[in-house]
Amino acid sequence: MELLNESKINNNLNFSTRAIHILEDPKENYYKDIVAPINLTSTYLLDDLEVKENQYFYTRYDNQTRNILEYKLAALEDSKFCLTFSSGMSAISTTLLSLVKPNSIIISFDDIYSVTKKIFEQFFIEYNIKVIYFDFSEINSIEEFLNENLNENVSIIYLESPTNPLLKITDIKKIVSISKKLNNNVKIIFDNTFLSPYFYNPLNDGVDVVVHSLTKYINGHSDVIAGAIMTNNQELFYLIKRYRNMLGGALSPFDSYLIIRGLKTLALRMEKHQQNAMILADYLKKHPKVKKVLYPGLKEHKNHEIIKNYAKGFGGVISFELDLDNFKIKKFLSNLKLISNAVSLGGVESLICIPYFSTHKDVKDKEKIGITPNLVRLSVGIEEPQDLIQDLEIALNKC
Ligand SMILES: Cc1ncc(COP(=O)(O)O)c(C=O)c1O
């Protein structure tokens, strides 16, 4: 059996149909299975002395179940190539290690997932790779910033939008068009975890590599840690694949199967996450104990019109500032009955955390960019919104 590398699926099918049917056609497979089987084997019979190109021979390199997931994900992200990894961080670190140039500079959004920042600040710094942070939500300053900073020493631009946890939004098309004119060798990496391929396909706006934590919306059930990258660039695909095979972060067949199962309901879940987030953001912004709500779906969000320009939706994560001291915030979290105080996001159940003390605890100068001790991040699940509002109302009244 040949490896499934490049996705050649006809993307005329709609999103959910692609998620459900691609490579799971009982008429096409020998056993007439309705769902893809799990190929747990770690190694494969060789028919010659030599391992040939494009054959399954060892599961760290390729595996049929993982390949089916990758093929489906490529089709959903509207891309040619996809690779999956044992965590979002494995996808991100492998991509960065493949693309970074020795002694070069990385330009990054100032508000990104904290562990990605750690790679820049605690790992790359040792190899004389520097990072320049910029608040890319300041749309009118982007051109001036890039003109001043994007020279031939810059190897990577790293973006999220919405960012984690401040839900800042940037103008991706603007960054891509200015950057490619200034330095055509720079690679733009975009972490699309918060919107998922259902709401946005960044490769269509000229980004070079998309990364995802599959742990979040794509799997959606808080029972797998996984990551993926997608690209249309064949050279980058083989480069990152070579690094994945060396560094060893490939996803296991069993976890691949769970994600194949999870992503069949991605469209339904994303619609409900977003509907609920809208309702909760409206409720929170009127609450006297809430100082500020950051949700890109709200008209008041600084870059609401920008996200509407590039994405089909706003996602299901809300951040908000409470007008309460730490003691009362702790009481608020412990009085919640349905919503759990836990890190992570994108699962069917609502989760809440204080990034200052949890996910972004080790981020330097976090208060300067707005990650304060009273900033709350709420991943809105797909429960009934009235139940979530009641949970929040009771807990807020008690503190
Ligand atoms: C935006 C974003 N990217 C990447 C990651 C890392 O993913 P993982 O936990 O699957 O390694 C996270 C984790 O919270 C995240 O929120």
Same-domain pairing of 210 and 316: no
My answer on whether 249 and 312 are in the same domain is no
pLDDT at 2 over 80: no
pLDDT, tens digit, for every residue of 248-278? 999 999 999 999 999 999 999 999 999 999 9
**208 within a domain of the structure (yes/no):** yes
Q: Are 317 and 355 found together in one domain?
A: yes
- The domain boundary, picked from 205, 234, 263, lies at 263
Identify which of 160, 164, 351 to mutate to test ligand 1's pocket (most ligand atoms within 8 A of the CB): 164
148: which strand partners?
none
Can you tell me the distance from the alpha carbon of 261 to that of 248, in angstroms, rounded to the nearest whole number?
A: 24
Domain termination site, one of 234, 263, 292: 263
Whether 245 and 327 share a structural domain? no
168 within some domain: yes
pLDDT, position 28: 81
Question: Is residue 9 a part of any domain in this protein?
Answer: no
- What pLDDT score does 175 carry? 98
Look at residue 10 and tell me whether its pLDDT is greater than 80: no
pLDDT category of residue 196 using cuts at 50, 70 and 90: very high
- Average pLDDT of the chain to the nearest whole number: 96
Tell me, yes or no, if 191 is annotated catalytic: yes
**Statement to judge: residues 101 and 137 lie in one domain:** yes
Say whether both 251 and 295 belong to one domain.
no
How far is it, in rounded angstroms, from Cα 314 to Cα 323?
25
Q: Using the 3D structure, point to which of 247, 263, 279 is the last residue of a domain.
A: 263
Instruction: Tell me what pLDDT residue 1 has.
Output: 60
Share of the chain above pLDDT 90, in %: 93
240 and 378 together in one domain? no
Whole-angstrom distance, CA of residue 354 vs CA of residue 339: 13
Handedness of CA 144, 148, 152, 154 (dihedral sign): negative
- Stretch 132-140: mean pLDDT, rounded? 98
Q: Supply the range of the domain harboring residue 280.
A: 267-397
pLDDT tens, 96-109?
999 999 999 999 99
Query: Which range (31-40, 134-143, 341-350, 387-396) has the least confidence?
Result: 31-40
Q: Check 62, 78, 110, 191 and give the catalytic one.
A: 191
Radius of gyration of the chain (CA): 21
**Active-site annotation holder among 113, 198, 257, 356:** 113
Set 60, 180, 291, 312: catalytic member: 60
Q: Could you tell me if the CB of 87 is within 6 A of ligand 1? A: yes
Q: What is the pLDDT of residue 11?
A: 67
Strand-pairing partners, residue 187, are 156
Q: Which residues on neighbouring strands pair with residue 319, listed in sequence order?
A: 294, 377
What integer pLDDT is reported at residue 31 of this predicted model?
A: 79
- From the CA of 89, how far away is ligand 1's center (Å)? 6
Q: Does residue 359 form part of some domain?
A: yes
Is 306 found in the same domain as 173? no
Q: Looking at the predicted structure, is the pLDDT value of residue 25 above 90?
A: no
Q: Is the predicted pLDDT of residue 171 greater than 70, yes or no?
A: yes
Domain count, the chain: 2
Does the pLDDT of residue 9 top 90, yes or no? no
Is there an atom of ligand 1 within 6 Å of 113 CB?
Answer: yes
Q: 79 with 146, same domain?
A: yes
Which candidate, 241, 259, 285, 210, places its Cα nearest to that of 72?
Answer: 259
**231 and 354 assigned to the same domain:** no
Q: Distances in Å between the alpha carbon of 118 and those of 83, 95, 109, 347?
A: 23, 15, 14, 25
Given a cut of 70, whether residue 88 has pLDDT beyond it is yes
Quick check: pTM over 0.95? yes
Mean pLDDT of the region 196-214: 98
Residue 12 pLDDT grade (very low, low, confident, very high; cuts 50, 70, 90): confident
Q: Are 298 and 274 in contact (CB under 8 A)?
A: no
